[in-house]
Amino acid sequence: MKTVRTSLLSLVVLAVLLSAVVPRLQAEDLDDCQRRVAHADHELHEAIQRHGRHSRQANHERRELHNAREHCWRERHQWWEEHERRWHKEHDWDEHDHD
C-alpha cells in the first residue's frame, strides 16, 4: 500500500513539474523563432542597402529569411512577421515581400 501511495505521489509531483516546464520551453521556442526571423529580416535590409535589391548578397539573405520562416513553420506551425510584429498561423509569406 505504501508503494502505491509513493508511486501516486511521484506521478503527481512529476505532472506538476511538467506542467510548469512545458509552457516555458514552448515560449523559448517562440522566442528563438522570433529572434531568428528578426535577425534574418534585418540582415536582408542591410544587404539591400549596401549592395542593392538584386545583389548576390541580398539574394543570400532572402534565402536565410526563407529558411528562418520555414524553421518556425516546421517547429511551431506559425511564423513571425517582423514588420507587423505578429505571429502568422498560415503558411502565407511572400518570398518577394522585400522587393
Residue ranges of the domains in the chain? 24-99
Cell, residue 19:
506542467
CA 85 to chain centre: 13
User: Which pLDDT does position 50 carry in this prediction?
Assistant: 98
Q: With contact defined as beta carbons under 8 Å apart, do 73 and 79 qualify?
A: yes
CB 41 within 8 A of CB 82: yes
Q: What is the mean pLDDT of the chain?
A: 83
Per-residue pLDDT tens digits for 7-49: 666 666 666 655 654 454 444 556 899 999 999 999 999 999 9
Output the pLDDT for position 22: 47
Rounded Cα gap, residues 45 and 52, in angstroms: 10
What is the per-residue pLDDT across 38-93, written as a single tens digit (0 to 9) for each?
999 999 999 999 999 999 999 999 999 999 999 999 999 999 999 999 999 999 98
